[in-house]
Amino acid sequence: MTHRILIIGGGIGGTMTANHLVTKLYPEIRSGKVQVTMLSNSPWHYYKPAFMYVAFNSFFRDELRRPQRGLLRPEIDFQVEDVEGFDFTSNQVRCKSGRSFGYDHLVISTGCIPSPERIEGLKEGGDHFYQHGPARQLADKLSKIEKGRIFVTVSFPKTPNVPHQCGIAPIETTLMLDDMLRKRGVRDKVEIVYTYPVVSQLLRNCLFLQKDTCEVLPTIFDQRGIKFQRGFTLDRVDPGAKVAYSAEGKEENFDILMATPPICAVQAVRDSGISEAADDEGWLPTDHESMKVLGLENVYVLGDTVD
Ligand SMILES: Cc1cc2nc3c(=O)[nH]c(=O)nc-3n(C[C@H](O)[C@H](O)[C@H](O)COP(=O)(O)OP(=O)(O)OC[C@H]3O[C@@H](n4cnc5c(N)ncnc54)[C@H](O)[C@@H]3O)c2cc1C
């Protein structure tokens, strides 16, 4: 009987794993003993870090995506399917198309999704650069602002010790913002305020989640006239009045709110019934040595879906 390895998600984790498996198991795949199948809900592979550059008009959609099929070794059976449910007892995944796929080993690599709606008013009043559409919208605002205040916030997931998406992105984009506004000749009329929440994984009241970076940041920001505040945990936003409120009781006005929003796992994973994460965030309980989902011998989880 053929041993079926099923990989869900054609992002970085799924693509690397599928190609590595074919390299390692090539003789078994050639002889039909093993089959590798990938299901992904998009025919495209997006290079997600480049969304950041989209917000600064220096990267465009066709430069940052490739057809997923073209990134996979030919031995991999790739199918565009939106997975909506997992049955870990009968080793099956269910797709929105009505099809089901069985497996002997399952790899879940469905990433995470920005969820600004988890903070009152943030979806309506804020902007972000973690997906293509929102990054384009932010690019439009950044290329037009002539004067005012750009307020930068970062929100961590509620599950302890899970970081926000791409650790360094808020700092990188704050510096890119400074650069862009200087090039546009409006930097002296636009105030930039970078903030970080009280709790950042193991640190408290810092400017970043790693100590070394925290220590150098004030000098870097001072050199560029970027203001900064520790201990601003975004609690809610009034989109009409353009005010951001912190859990610590501060109120800050803005013209553009450039936020790193909360994140969560995709719906199918949140509905899987095996997550123990706080606030229905959906991260899967992971053995960090083997990447197995705890309690399931034949299921692995990678990348942004781990806890
Ligand atoms: C702006 C930005 C900057 C970043 N910068 C960096 C950086 O500098 N360095 C770094 O290491 N990381 C960076 N990252 C993070 C990095 O992109 C992610 O950690 C990485 O993409 C995670 O890989 P993944 O396979 O877990 O998920 P993803 O790459 O997100 O892939 C998930 C895949 O699953 C598919 N999928 C989702 N739901 C379903 C479903 N229900 N059914 C079928 N398929 C589904 C999606 O279509 C996608 O193909 C950045 C991210 C962003 C957004």
- Whether 96 shows a pLDDT value over 80: the answer reads yes
- Whether 61 shows a pLDDT value over 90: the answer reads no
Under 8 Å between Cβ of 220 and 213:
no
53 alpha carbon to ligand 1 midpoint, in Å?
16
Percent of the chain at pLDDT > 90 equals 90
- Residue 299 is classified by DSSP as E
Under 8 Å between Cβ of 179 and 142:
no
Mean pLDDT, range 23-47, rounded to an integer: 97
- Residue 61 is classified by DSSP as G
146 alpha carbon to ligand 1 midpoint, in Å?
34
Q: Give span(s): CATH 3.50.50.60, the chain.
A: 3-111+266-305, 114-262
Mean pLDDT, range 214-227, rounded to an integer: 95
pLDDT class of 209 with cuts at 50, 70, 90: confident
Domain 3-111+266-305: CATH superfamily is FAD/NAD(P)-binding domain (3.50.50.60)
167 alpha carbon to ligand 1 midpoint, in Å?
14
The angle, 0 to 180 degrees and rounded to 10, between the axes of the packed helices 211-224 and 169-184 is 10
Ligand 1 site residues, Cβ closer than 6 angstroms: 8-14, 39-42, 48-49, 51-52, 82-83, 109-111, 129-130, 165-166, 169, 266, 268, 302-305
- Whether 208 shows a pLDDT value over 80: the answer reads yes
Q: Is 5 helix (H, G, I), strand (E, B) or coil?
A: strand
Question: Which is more confident, 165 or 123?
Answer: 123
Residue 253's CB: how many other CB atoms inside 10 A? 13
Ligand 1 atom closest to 135 (CA): 1
Q: What is the pLDDT of residue 78?
A: 98
Ligand 1 atom closest to 268 (CA): 41
Ligand 1 atom closest to 95 (CA): 42
12 alpha carbon to ligand 1 midpoint, in Å?
6
- Whether 201 shows a pLDDT value over 80: the answer reads no
Mean pLDDT, range 97-103, rounded to an integer: 98
- Whether 161 shows a pLDDT value over 90: the answer reads no
As for the ipTM of the complex, it is 0.98
Mean pLDDT, range 44-72, rounded to an integer: 94
One CATH from 3.30.530.20, 3.50.50.60, 3.40.50.1240, 3.40.50.150 for 114-262: 3.50.50.60
Q: What is the pLDDT of residue 183?
A: 96
Select from 38, 40, 95, 115 the residue to mutate for testing ligand 1; criterion: most ligand atoms less than 8 Å from CB. 40
Question: What residue's CA is closest to ligand 1, atom 3?
Answer: 49
Q: What is the pLDDT of residue 104?
A: 98
